[in-house]
């Protein structure tokens, strides 16, 4: 796989993870708002929200590497009516801007709740349009049998859901572990820092420090109960999607094997060792989510979250490697009819 394809693998996976995380987190937020206080809801979802930004930045940087010359990005706006690639970049930039605006509004608690939710809804819609444009770039190429199939949009959406669910769950668990180290530091800094904090409270840095303290405040027992329930549901969703990826991948290779000469070339690439590793890693992801994470979420106590956090991290790594292999095969299987 060449550098061009590697940049596209990173861009598509990072952008899909960001979109999936944002939408899944939005669903979690809406459900949690009905069962928890606003403060508890914010404390549970905030770590995952602020982890999405760096992922999208990585994706956008990879897309710039794909374009080659950053000045070429401005040319995409001229072809939006006819080019799915142009639409992909436009929706990607728009999603990043809307998501960043929402994160800023949430961080500083600016604007009404309705306004913040409207910006979040706009970002979610733009994220869905981004996924649609990414899939159509490949699905619309009738000359490439491996791409001109319903499997491509399915895999893109599946990657968004699987990686998004894992990213949200992992961010929540990492935050819980980090917060467990905070009480002693907060206690030491309490009365001694009151004057300093009061002087800074009106300034930007003071607001940022205050927000950091809020986010890193120790997780309460009630917040932990909400977190583990969310993890259990995320584990079930992720496991189902991982199994679906394995089944569809098998069907996909079988369908290509029944096609013409070009389709057979793609099927040969998709039947190699890299595909077997991809299926093995995805299967391990499904098992860990469906059994280990789900069970640990029900039995782990707030005082000892490290095993659950470590399991989430390992599962996230397995899924990422599996999806990277799968997306690499997507590009390696590109053989054109007539060329």
272 CB-contact burial (10 Å; exposed 0-12 / middle 13-18 / buried 19+): exposed
Contact 327, 272 (CB under 8 A): no
CA separation (Å) from 246 to 134, 167, 254, 310, 312? 21, 20, 13, 25, 20
CATH architecture designation of domain 3-180+218-332: Up-down Bundle (1.20)
- Annotated domain spans of the chain: 3-180+218-332
Per-residue pLDDT, 339 = 58
Residues in the chain where the model's pLDDT stays below 50: 184-200
184 CB-contact burial (10 Å; exposed 0-12 / middle 13-18 / buried 19+): exposed
pLDDT tens digit sequence for 197-244: 444 455 777 777 887 888 889 999 999 999 999 999 999 999 999 999
Per-residue pLDDT, 209 = 81
Per-residue pLDDT, 308 = 97
Closest CA to 165 of 268, 241, 277, 262: 241
Q: What angle do CA 111, 128, 152 make, to 5 degrees?
A: 160
Per-residue pLDDT, 203 = 75
Contact 276, 147 (CB under 8 A): no
d(CA 284, CA 11): 24
Name the helix (H) or strand (E) containing 188: helix 182-189
251 CB-contact burial (10 Å; exposed 0-12 / middle 13-18 / buried 19+): exposed
Contact 19, 167 (CB under 8 A): no
CA separation (Å) from 49 to 76, 107, 237? 29, 10, 19
d(CA 182, CA 168): 21
Per-residue pLDDT, 54 = 80
Cα–chain center distance at 298: 24
pLDDT tens digit sequence for 243-269: 999 999 999 999 999 989 999 999 999
What pTM, to 2 d.p., does this model score? 0.90
């Amino acid at each position: 796989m060449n550098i061009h394809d590697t940049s596209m693998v990173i861009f598509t996976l990072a952008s899909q993870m960001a979109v999936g995380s944002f939408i899944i987190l939005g669903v979690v937020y809406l459900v949690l708002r009905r069962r928890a206080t606003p403060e508890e809801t914010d404390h549970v979802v905030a770590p995952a929200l602020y982890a999405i930004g760096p992922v999208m930045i990585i994706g956008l940087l990879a897309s710039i590497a794909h374009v080659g010359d950053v000045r070429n990005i401005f040319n995409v706006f001229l072809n939006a009516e006819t080019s799915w690639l142009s639409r992909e970049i436009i929706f990607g930039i728009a999603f990043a801007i809307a998501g960043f605006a929402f994160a800023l509004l949430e961080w500083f608690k600016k604007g009404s709740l309705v306004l913040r939710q409207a910006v979040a809804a706009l970002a979610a819609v733009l994220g869905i349009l981004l996924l649609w444009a990414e899939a159509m770039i490949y699905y619309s190429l009738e000359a490439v049998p491996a791409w001109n199939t319903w499997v491509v949009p399915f895999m893109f959406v599946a990657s968004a859901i699987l990686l998004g669910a894992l990213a949200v769950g992992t961010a929540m668990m990492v935050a819980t572990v980090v917060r467990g180290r905070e009480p002693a530091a907060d206690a030491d800094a309490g009365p001694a820092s009151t004057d300093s904090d009061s002087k800074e409270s009106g300034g930007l840095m003071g607001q940022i420090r205050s927000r950091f303290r809020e986010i890193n405040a120790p997780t309460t027992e009630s917040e932990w109960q909400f977190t583990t329930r969310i993890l259990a549901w995320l584990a079930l969703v992720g496991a189902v999607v991982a199994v679906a990826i394995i089944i569809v991948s098998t069907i996909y290779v079988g369908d290509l094997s029944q096609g013409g000469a070009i389709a057979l070339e793609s099927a040969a690439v998709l039947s190699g060792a890299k595909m077997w590793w991809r299926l093995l890693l995805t299967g391990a992801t499904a098992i860990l989510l469906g059994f280990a994470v789900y069970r640990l979420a029900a039995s782990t106590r707030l005082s000892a979250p490290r095993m659950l956090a470590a399991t989430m991290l390992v599962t996230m790594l397995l899924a990422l490697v599996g999806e990277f292999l799968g997306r690499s095969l997507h590009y390696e299987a590109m053989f054109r009819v007539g060329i």
